[in-house]
């Protein structure tokens, strides 16, 4: 299936947008989607615009791509060409802890505003 998987890196005042386009089988597409989404969860929040705009939209776009890829049939054994191993689900990877970054930032800002600082 032709699908685009996106990644985002926020680096203080600059940002980096990553895309991988192409026809992917289910296994290769899911592996790529998990990898780029995991990297975005860990590296995407470090710029003000990334925190509020680009990283959340990138994660939503990848979720839509992941749903499309999940609807594909499993590859048939013996097909030509190597296929990537999808690996562990995203929630079982250490990169998912990056989702705590915006939560901690929100708690910090809330605490600072309530304490009158």
| 61-94 pLDDT, tens digit each | 999 999 999 999 988 777 777 888 888 999 999 9
Q: Is the pTM of this model over 0.95?
A: no
Q: Could you read off the pLDDT of 6-41 as tens digits, one per residue?
A: 999 998 888 999 999 999 989 999 999 999 999 999
| DSSP-assigned letters across all residues of 27-93 | HHHHHHHHHHHHHHHHHTTSSHHIIIIIHHHHHHHHHHHHHHHHTSPPPPTT-SS------S-GGGS
């Amino acid at each position: 299936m032709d699908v685009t998987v996106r990644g985002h890196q926020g680096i203080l005042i600059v940002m980096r947008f990553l895309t991988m386009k192409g026809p992917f089988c289910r296994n290769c597409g899911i592996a790529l989607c998990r990898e780029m989404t995991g990297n975005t969860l860990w590296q995407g929040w470090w710029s003000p615009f990334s925190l509020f705009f680009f990283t959340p939209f990138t994660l939503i776009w990848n979720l839509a791509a992941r749903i499309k890829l999940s609807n594909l049939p499993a590859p048939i054994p013996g097909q030509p060409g190597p296929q990537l191993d999808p690996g562990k689900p995203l929630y079982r990877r250490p990169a998912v802890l990056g989702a705590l970054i915006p939560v901690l930032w929100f708690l910090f800002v809330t605490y600072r505003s309530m304490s009158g600082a």
